[in-house]
Amino acid sequence: MGKPAIAIELSAAKRRELESLVRRRKTSQGLARRARIVLAAAEGLENKAIVEAVGADANTVGKWRRRRHVGPCVANGPGPGPLARMTGCLRPEAAGREK
């Protein structure tokens, strides 16, 4: 048996934000997939179940679960534009940016 999955808690506002990203037609596929991973992890699903549901690689699921668990946002600050302000915690290119 492996180690237990990291529990993720989302505020109601963050959950609504991620759900709207998944529904938006203009959201990139990668961003929508990351949002689905975080939402499924917050529901309490194990990584194997998320892999099957989302169709992502097991390493990707584990990475985004860990990144979301570290804090509300991986980035040090939001990137430019409205999408970056909305999704700073799901944009890998925003990680490591200074404010």
N-terminal to C-terminal alpha carbon distance within the chain: 42
pTM, two decimal places: 0.68
The predicted pLDDT at position 94 comes to 46
> What range does the domain containing 55 cover?
12-94
The predicted pLDDT at position 9 comes to 85
Distance between CA atoms of residues 97 and 19, nearest Å: 25
Number of Cβ within 10 Å of residue 46's Cβ equals 14
Asked if residue 29 lies in contact with residue 37, where contact means CB atoms within 8 angstroms, the answer is no
Query: Is residue 45 one of the residues assigned to a domain?
Result: yes
Q: For residue 89, what are the contacts with CB-CB under 8 A and spacing of at least 6?
A: 67, 68, 72, 73, 74, 75
Which has the closest alpha carbon to 38: 55, 2, 14?
A: 14
- Calculate the average pLDDT of the chain: 75
What pLDDT, in 10s, does the model give residues 43-68?
A: 989 999 999 999 999 999 988 888 87
Query: Is residue 5 one of the residues assigned to a domain?
Result: no
Quote the number of domains for the chain. 1
Query: Is residue 35 one of the residues assigned to a domain?
Result: yes
What pLDDT, in 10s, does the model give residues 14-33?
A: 899 999 989 999 888 888 99
Query: Is residue 4 one of the residues assigned to a domain?
Result: no
Query: Is residue 99 one of the residues assigned to a domain?
Result: no
Distance between CA atoms of residues 15 and 6, nearest Å: 17
The predicted pLDDT at position 95 comes to 46
Q: What percent of the chain has pLDDT over 90?
A: 31
The mean pLDDT value for 4-10 works out to: 80
